[in-house]
Protein backbone atom coordinates (compact mmCIF):
# COMPACT_ATOMS: atom_id res chain seq x y z
CA UNK A 1 0.00 0.00 0.00
CA UNK A 2 1.40 3.37 -0.95
CA UNK A 3 0.91 6.48 1.11
CA UNK A 4 -1.96 7.91 -0.95
CA UNK A 5 -5.33 6.39 -1.84
CA UNK A 6 -5.76 8.75 -4.79
CA UNK A 7 -3.23 10.67 -6.86
CA UNK A 8 -4.61 13.01 -9.50
CA UNK A 9 -2.13 14.78 -11.77
CA UNK A 10 -3.07 17.65 -14.02
CA UNK A 11 -6.34 16.27 -15.40
CA UNK A 12 -8.17 18.15 -18.14
CA UNK A 13 -11.57 17.63 -19.71
CA UNK A 14 -13.18 19.89 -22.31
CA UNK A 15 -16.59 19.82 -23.94
CA UNK A 16 -16.09 21.82 -27.12
CA UNK A 17 -14.75 25.19 -26.01
CA UNK A 18 -15.72 24.62 -22.40
CA UNK A 19 -12.91 23.60 -20.06
CA UNK A 20 -14.99 21.68 -17.53
CA UNK A 21 -11.82 20.51 -15.75
CA UNK A 22 -8.82 22.64 -16.50
CA UNK A 23 -5.69 21.23 -14.89
CA UNK A 24 -6.63 19.69 -11.57
CA UNK A 25 -4.16 17.91 -9.28
CA UNK A 26 -4.59 16.57 -5.77
CA UNK A 27 -3.84 13.59 -3.60
CA UNK A 28 -6.05 11.97 -0.98
CA UNK A 29 -4.47 9.99 1.82
CA UNK A 30 -5.76 6.65 3.10
CA UNK A 31 -8.45 7.31 5.67
CA UNK A 32 -8.85 10.93 4.70
CA UNK A 33 -12.19 12.74 4.39
CA UNK A 34 -11.68 14.94 1.34
CA UNK A 35 -14.20 17.52 0.15
CA UNK A 36 -14.57 19.16 -3.24
CA UNK A 37 -16.50 22.42 -2.99
CA UNK A 38 -17.66 24.84 -5.59
CA UNK A 39 -20.70 26.41 -7.22
CA UNK A 40 -22.81 24.86 -10.00
CA UNK A 41 -20.74 24.06 -13.06
CA UNK A 42 -17.40 24.32 -11.23
CA UNK A 43 -16.36 20.91 -12.58
CA UNK A 44 -16.79 18.86 -9.39
CA UNK A 45 -18.80 16.01 -10.91
CA UNK A 46 -16.61 15.85 -14.00
CA UNK A 47 -13.46 15.66 -11.88
CA UNK A 48 -15.01 13.06 -9.58
CA UNK A 49 -16.17 10.89 -12.48
CA UNK A 50 -12.67 10.98 -13.95
CA UNK A 51 -11.24 9.80 -10.63
CA UNK A 52 -13.90 7.07 -10.37
CA UNK A 53 -12.98 5.83 -13.85
CA UNK A 54 -16.36 6.70 -15.38
CA UNK A 55 -14.93 9.36 -17.66
CA UNK A 56 -11.69 9.55 -19.57
CA UNK A 57 -9.63 12.71 -19.09
CA UNK A 58 -8.36 14.49 -22.23
CA UNK A 59 -5.01 14.42 -20.51
CA UNK A 60 -3.48 13.97 -17.10
CA UNK A 61 -3.40 10.86 -14.93
CA UNK A 62 -5.26 9.27 -12.04
CA UNK A 63 -4.11 6.52 -9.69
CA UNK A 64 -6.85 5.09 -7.52
CA UNK A 65 -5.66 2.53 -4.96
CA UNK A 66 -2.55 2.11 -7.10
CA UNK A 67 -4.60 1.27 -10.19
CA UNK A 68 -5.57 3.11 -13.31
CA UNK A 69 -9.36 3.50 -13.02
CA UNK A 70 -10.03 4.04 -16.73
CA UNK A 71 -11.15 2.16 -18.73
CA UNK A 72 -13.47 0.50 -16.18
CA UNK A 73 -11.12 -1.46 -14.00
CA UNK A 74 -12.97 -4.48 -12.62
CA UNK A 75 -10.38 -5.19 -9.95
CA UNK A 76 -11.22 -1.81 -8.41
CA UNK A 77 -15.00 -2.29 -8.31
CA UNK A 78 -15.19 -4.24 -5.03
CA UNK A 79 -12.91 -1.69 -3.37
CA UNK A 80 -14.72 1.50 -4.33
CA UNK A 81 -18.26 2.73 -3.69
CA UNK A 82 -19.77 5.30 -6.00
CA UNK A 83 -22.86 7.39 -5.45
CA UNK A 84 -23.65 9.42 -8.53
CA UNK A 85 -25.31 12.82 -8.57
CA UNK A 86 -28.16 11.36 -10.64
CA UNK A 87 -28.53 7.86 -9.32
CA UNK A 88 -29.65 4.90 -11.35
CA UNK A 89 -31.72 2.11 -9.84
CA UNK A 90 -33.09 -1.16 -11.10
CA UNK A 91 -36.63 -0.66 -12.32
CA UNK A 92 -39.66 -1.49 -10.19
CA UNK A 93 -37.80 -2.83 -7.18
CA UNK A 94 -38.47 -1.87 -3.58
CA UNK A 95 -35.81 -0.18 -1.47
CA UNK A 96 -34.91 -3.52 0.12
CA UNK A 97 -34.78 -5.31 -3.22
CA UNK A 98 -32.56 -2.58 -4.69
CA UNK A 99 -30.06 -3.06 -1.89
CA UNK A 100 -30.26 -6.84 -1.99
CA UNK A 101 -29.62 -6.73 -5.73
CA UNK A 102 -26.57 -4.48 -5.30
CA UNK A 103 -25.38 -6.72 -2.45
CA UNK A 104 -25.76 -9.89 -4.50
CA UNK A 105 -23.68 -8.35 -7.31
CA UNK A 106 -20.84 -8.28 -4.80
CA UNK A 107 -21.66 -11.71 -3.36
CA UNK A 108 -23.00 -10.22 -0.15
CA UNK A 109 -25.98 -11.60 1.76
CA UNK A 110 -29.36 -10.00 2.36
CA UNK A 111 -28.67 -9.35 6.05
CA UNK A 112 -26.16 -6.67 5.12
CA UNK A 113 -28.75 -5.06 2.83
CA UNK A 114 -31.16 -4.77 5.76
CA UNK A 115 -28.38 -3.35 7.93
CA UNK A 116 -27.76 -0.67 5.33
CA UNK A 117 -31.45 0.29 5.20
CA UNK A 118 -31.30 0.78 8.93
CA UNK A 119 -28.08 2.77 8.69
CA UNK A 120 -29.68 5.35 6.39
CA UNK A 121 -33.00 5.34 8.25
CA UNK A 122 -35.10 3.64 5.56
CA UNK A 123 -36.22 0.52 7.41
CA UNK A 124 -39.84 1.68 7.37
CA UNK A 125 -39.60 2.20 3.60
CA UNK A 126 -38.09 -1.23 2.90
CA UNK A 127 -41.12 -2.38 0.93
CA UNK A 128 -41.68 0.87 -0.94
CA UNK A 129 -40.80 0.93 -4.60
CA UNK A 130 -37.85 3.20 -5.39
CA UNK A 131 -39.95 5.42 -7.69
CA UNK A 132 -42.38 6.03 -4.81
CA UNK A 133 -39.70 7.34 -2.46
CA UNK A 134 -39.21 11.06 -1.85
CA UNK A 135 -36.13 12.74 -3.32
CA UNK A 136 -34.26 12.64 -0.03
CA UNK A 137 -35.23 9.03 0.64
CA UNK A 138 -34.05 8.02 -2.83
CA UNK A 139 -30.80 9.81 -2.15
CA UNK A 140 -30.34 7.91 1.10
CA UNK A 141 -31.01 4.67 -0.75
CA UNK A 142 -28.34 5.51 -3.32
CA UNK A 143 -25.87 6.17 -0.51
CA UNK A 144 -26.72 2.81 1.06
CA UNK A 145 -26.16 1.15 -2.32
CA UNK A 146 -22.73 2.79 -2.59
CA UNK A 147 -21.76 1.47 0.85
CA UNK A 148 -23.30 -2.00 0.81
CA UNK A 149 -20.09 -3.85 -0.13
CA UNK A 150 -18.02 -2.02 2.52
CA UNK A 151 -15.63 -0.36 0.05
CA UNK A 152 -12.25 1.12 1.03
CA UNK A 153 -12.84 4.33 -0.90
CA UNK A 154 -16.27 5.98 -1.03
CA UNK A 155 -17.21 8.64 -3.58
CA UNK A 156 -20.33 10.67 -2.89
CA UNK A 157 -21.53 13.41 -5.23
CA UNK A 158 -23.59 15.89 -3.20
CA UNK A 159 -24.95 13.25 -0.84
CA UNK A 160 -26.60 15.81 1.43
CA UNK A 161 -28.14 17.98 -1.29
CA UNK A 162 -31.80 16.91 -1.01
CA UNK A 163 -31.82 15.94 2.64
CA UNK A 164 -33.80 17.54 5.43
CA UNK A 165 -31.72 18.84 8.38
CA UNK A 166 -32.29 15.71 10.46
CA UNK A 167 -31.35 13.32 7.64
CA UNK A 168 -28.34 15.50 6.88
CA UNK A 169 -27.06 15.20 10.40
CA UNK A 170 -27.74 11.47 10.43
CA UNK A 171 -25.70 11.13 7.28
CA UNK A 172 -22.85 13.08 8.87
CA UNK A 173 -22.82 10.47 11.64
CA UNK A 174 -22.83 7.66 9.07
CA UNK A 175 -19.93 9.22 7.18
CA UNK A 176 -17.95 9.85 10.35
CA UNK A 177 -18.46 6.24 11.42
CA UNK A 178 -17.20 5.06 8.02
CA UNK A 179 -14.14 7.24 8.32
CA UNK A 180 -13.55 6.01 11.87
CA UNK A 181 -13.23 2.52 10.39
CA UNK A 182 -10.31 3.68 8.29
CA UNK A 183 -12.14 4.24 5.02
CA UNK A 184 -11.35 7.04 2.61
CA UNK A 185 -14.15 9.42 1.65
CA UNK A 186 -14.24 11.84 -1.25
CA UNK A 187 -17.34 13.94 -1.51
CA UNK A 188 -18.69 17.06 -3.14
CA UNK A 189 -20.98 19.56 -1.51
CA UNK A 190 -22.41 23.03 -1.82
CA UNK A 191 -22.54 23.39 1.93
CA UNK A 192 -19.39 25.14 3.01
CA UNK A 193 -20.40 24.98 6.67
CA UNK A 194 -20.84 21.21 6.39
CA UNK A 195 -17.46 20.74 4.71
CA UNK A 196 -15.87 22.77 7.45
CA UNK A 197 -17.24 20.34 10.01
CA UNK A 198 -16.66 17.04 8.20
CA UNK A 199 -13.59 17.33 6.02
CA UNK A 200 -9.94 16.84 6.85
CA UNK A 201 -9.10 18.84 3.74
CA UNK A 202 -11.11 20.64 1.11
CA UNK A 203 -10.42 21.68 -2.45
CA UNK A 204 -12.31 24.81 -3.47
CA UNK A 205 -13.08 24.58 -7.19
CA UNK A 206 -14.36 27.16 -9.61
CA UNK A 207 -14.39 27.17 -13.41
CA UNK A 208 -12.54 23.89 -13.73
CA UNK A 209 -9.68 24.74 -11.40
CA UNK A 210 -8.75 24.26 -7.78
CA UNK A 211 -8.36 27.70 -6.24
CA UNK A 212 -7.28 26.52 -2.82
CA UNK A 213 -6.66 23.22 -1.08
CA UNK A 214 -6.00 22.81 2.62
CA UNK A 215 -7.62 22.01 5.94
CA UNK A 216 -10.70 24.18 6.54
CA UNK A 217 -9.01 25.73 9.58
CA UNK A 218 -5.88 26.66 7.62
CA UNK A 219 -7.94 28.17 4.80
CA UNK A 220 -9.91 30.32 7.22
CA UNK A 221 -6.81 31.25 9.22
CA UNK A 222 -5.06 32.27 6.01
CA UNK A 223 -7.68 34.98 5.56
CA UNK A 224 -6.69 36.77 8.74
CA UNK A 225 -10.23 38.15 8.77
CA UNK A 226 -11.63 40.06 11.73
CA UNK A 227 -14.57 38.83 13.80
CA UNK A 228 -17.94 40.59 13.71
CA UNK A 229 -19.84 41.00 16.93
CA UNK A 230 -23.42 42.23 16.80
CA UNK A 231 -25.72 43.39 19.61
CA UNK A 232 -29.31 44.47 19.62
CA UNK A 233 -29.58 48.11 18.57
CA UNK A 234 -29.71 50.51 21.49
CA UNK A 235 -27.69 48.28 23.82
CA UNK A 236 -24.98 50.95 23.76
CA UNK A 237 -24.62 54.32 22.08
CA UNK A 238 -22.20 54.25 19.17
CA UNK A 239 -19.92 56.64 21.05
CA UNK A 240 -19.77 54.31 24.08
CA UNK A 241 -19.31 51.34 21.77
CA UNK A 242 -16.44 52.96 19.88
CA UNK A 243 -14.60 53.62 23.17
CA UNK A 244 -14.51 49.95 24.16
CA UNK A 245 -11.22 48.04 24.00
CA UNK A 246 -10.89 46.07 20.77
CA UNK A 247 -13.64 48.01 18.96
CA UNK A 248 -11.78 48.49 15.67
CA UNK A 249 -14.92 49.62 13.84
CA UNK A 250 -18.48 50.28 14.98
CA UNK A 251 -21.58 50.65 12.84
CA UNK A 252 -25.29 50.70 13.49
CA UNK A 253 -28.38 50.00 11.41
CA UNK A 254 -32.09 49.69 12.25
CA UNK A 255 -31.66 46.46 14.15
CA UNK A 256 -28.11 45.97 15.28
CA UNK A 257 -24.92 47.49 16.50
CA UNK A 258 -21.94 45.82 14.84
CA UNK A 259 -18.32 45.73 15.95
CA UNK A 260 -15.47 44.66 13.71
CA UNK A 261 -12.61 43.44 15.84
CA UNK A 262 -9.28 41.67 15.58
CA UNK A 263 -9.15 41.20 19.36
CA UNK A 264 -12.56 39.82 20.36
CA UNK A 265 -11.55 38.67 23.88
CA UNK A 266 -11.15 42.11 25.55
CA UNK A 267 -14.17 43.44 23.69
CA UNK A 268 -16.37 40.55 24.86
CA UNK A 269 -15.10 41.03 28.41
CA UNK A 270 -15.98 44.73 28.29
CA UNK A 271 -19.45 43.95 26.92
CA UNK A 272 -20.03 41.39 29.66
CA UNK A 273 -18.95 43.89 32.33
CA UNK A 274 -21.53 46.33 30.99
CA UNK A 275 -24.22 43.64 31.02
CA UNK A 276 -25.12 44.11 27.36
CA UNK A 277 -24.83 40.56 26.08
CA UNK A 278 -28.51 40.29 25.05
CA UNK A 279 -28.83 39.26 21.43
CA UNK A 280 -25.08 39.01 21.09
CA UNK A 281 -23.78 37.17 18.05
CA UNK A 282 -20.18 36.53 17.12
CA UNK A 283 -19.35 35.74 13.55
CA UNK A 284 -15.85 34.65 12.64
CA UNK A 285 -14.57 33.99 9.13
CA UNK A 286 -15.81 30.84 7.37
CA UNK A 287 -15.06 29.01 4.16
CA UNK A 288 -17.59 31.32 2.51
CA UNK A 289 -15.27 34.22 3.21
CA UNK A 290 -12.40 32.19 1.78
CA UNK A 291 -14.41 31.67 -1.39
CA UNK A 292 -15.27 35.36 -1.58
CA UNK A 293 -11.65 36.33 -1.24
CA UNK A 294 -10.49 33.79 -3.83
CA UNK A 295 -13.05 34.68 -6.47
CA UNK A 296 -14.23 38.17 -5.62
CA UNK A 297 -17.74 36.75 -5.74
CA UNK A 298 -20.22 35.73 -3.06
CA UNK A 299 -20.60 31.97 -2.83
CA UNK A 300 -23.80 31.08 -4.67
CA UNK A 301 -24.20 27.38 -4.86
N1 LIG B 1 -21.48 15.63 -20.88
C2 LIG B 1 -21.31 16.95 -20.97
N3 LIG B 1 -21.36 17.61 -22.13
C4 LIG B 1 -21.15 18.95 -22.24
N5 LIG B 1 -20.89 19.74 -21.18
C6 LIG B 1 -20.81 19.15 -19.98
C7 LIG B 1 -21.02 17.74 -19.81
N8 LIG B 1 -20.89 17.45 -18.48
C9 LIG B 1 -20.64 18.62 -17.88
N10 LIG B 1 -20.58 19.64 -18.76
C11 LIG B 1 -20.28 21.04 -18.44
O12 LIG B 1 -19.08 21.08 -17.70
C13 LIG B 1 -19.14 22.03 -16.65
C14 LIG B 1 -18.85 21.35 -15.34
O15 LIG B 1 -19.93 20.49 -15.02
P16 LIG B 1 -19.95 19.59 -13.71
O17 LIG B 1 -21.15 18.74 -13.79
O18 LIG B 1 -18.64 18.92 -13.56
O19 LIG B 1 -20.09 20.72 -12.58
P20 LIG B 1 -20.40 20.56 -11.03
O21 LIG B 1 -19.35 21.33 -10.32
O22 LIG B 1 -20.57 19.14 -10.68
O23 LIG B 1 -21.78 21.34 -10.88
P24 LIG B 1 -23.06 21.05 -9.93
O25 LIG B 1 -22.76 21.71 -8.64
O26 LIG B 1 -24.17 21.75 -10.63
O27 LIG B 1 -23.25 19.59 -9.83
C28 LIG B 1 -20.52 22.65 -16.74
O29 LIG B 1 -20.43 23.90 -17.38
C30 LIG B 1 -21.33 21.66 -17.54
O31 LIG B 1 -22.32 22.31 -18.30
MG1 LIG C 1 -22.09 18.05 -9.93
From the CA of 47, the nearest ligand is 1
Q: What is the pLDDT of residue 221?
A: 84
Question: Which residue from 18, 41, 207 has its CB within 8 A of the most atoms of ligand 1, so it is best to mutate?
Answer: 41
Instruction: Report the pLDDT value the prediction gives residue 49, as an integer from 0 to 100.
Output: 95
Report, at the CATH architecture level, how domain 226-284 is classified.
Answer: 2-Layer Sandwich (3.30)
For ligand 1, atom 5, the nearest C-alpha belongs to 15
Q: Rounded to the nearest 10 degrees, how much is the dihedral formed by the CA atoms of 70, 75, 80, 81?
A: 90
Distance 208 CA to ligand 2 centre (A): 12
What pLDDT is stored for residue 81 in this prediction?
A: 94
Digit-by-digit pLDDT tens for the chain (301 residues) are 567 999 999 999 999 999 999 999 999 999 999 999 998 899 999 999 999 999 999 999 999 999 999 998 889 999 999 998 777 788 889 999 999 998 998 889 889 999 999 988 899 999 999 999 988 889 899 999 999 999 999 999 999 988 888 889 988 998 998 999 899 999 999 888 899 999 999 999 999 999 999 999 898 888 878 889 999 988 899 999 999 999 999 999 988 999 999 999 999 999 999 998 878 999 888 888 888 888 777 766 5
Neighbours of 58 (CB within 10 A): 12
Q: Which atom of ligand 1 is nearest to the CA of 48?
A: 18
Question: What's the gap in Å between 41 CA and the centre of ligand 2?
Answer: 7
- Rounded distance from Cα 275 to ligand 1 centre (Å): 53
Domain boundaries along the sequence of the chain:
4-217, 226-284
* Residue closest by Cα to atom 2 of ligand 1: 15
Residue 41 and residue 301: Cα distance in Å, rounded?
10
Query: Which residue's CA is the nearest one to ligand 1's atom 3?
Result: 15
Fold of 4-217: Rossmann fold (3.40.50)
Question: How many angstroms separate the most distant Cα atoms in the chain?
Answer: 73
Residue 248: what pLDDT? 93
Q: What is the dihedral of CA 172, 174, 179, 184, to 10 degrees?
A: -90
Q: At what angle do helices 165-180 and 135-147 cross, to 10 degrees?
A: 10
Amino acid sequence: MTSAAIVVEDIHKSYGDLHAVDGVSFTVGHGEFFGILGPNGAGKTTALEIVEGLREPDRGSVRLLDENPFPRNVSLLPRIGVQLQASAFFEKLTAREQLETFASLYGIGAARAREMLDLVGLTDKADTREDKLSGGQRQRLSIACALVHDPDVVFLDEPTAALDPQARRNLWDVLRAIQARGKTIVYTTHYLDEAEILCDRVAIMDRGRILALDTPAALVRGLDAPARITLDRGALTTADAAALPGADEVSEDDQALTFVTRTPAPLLTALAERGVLDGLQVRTATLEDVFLQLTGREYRA
